[in-house]
């Protein structure tokens, strides 16, 4: 089973990754009550808050920051 997040526009489905959908498989489609614009706006506000907090920090930055992937799941 695969789960794909995205949005419909007209009769097309858009997602942020390439997905191969098998032919003739049963599927369940769940339509959420939040428009895409609200999700994008929430994410944008979260990034603005993040950058504001960095700008407020008075600690000097030293060295090279470690690269990270914020969308990757990790075990803590």
Contact 20, 2 (CB under 8 A): no
**Domain chopping of the chain, boundaries:** 6-56
Quote the pTM value.
Answer: 0.41
Per-residue pLDDT at 41: 73
CB proximity list for 19: less than 8 A, separation 6 or greater:
2, 4
pLDDT, tens only, 11-37: 888 887 888 888 999 989 898 888 777
């Amino acid at each position: 089973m695969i789960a794909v997040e995205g949005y419909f526009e007209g009769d097309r489905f858009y997602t942020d990754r390439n997905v191969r959908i098998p032919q003739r498989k049963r599927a369940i489609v769940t339509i959420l009550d939040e428009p895409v614009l609200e999700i994008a706006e929430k994410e944008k506000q979260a990034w603005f808050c993040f950058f504001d907090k960095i700008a407020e920090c008075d600690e000097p930055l030293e060295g090279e920051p470690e690269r990270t992937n914020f969308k990757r799941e990790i075990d803590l």
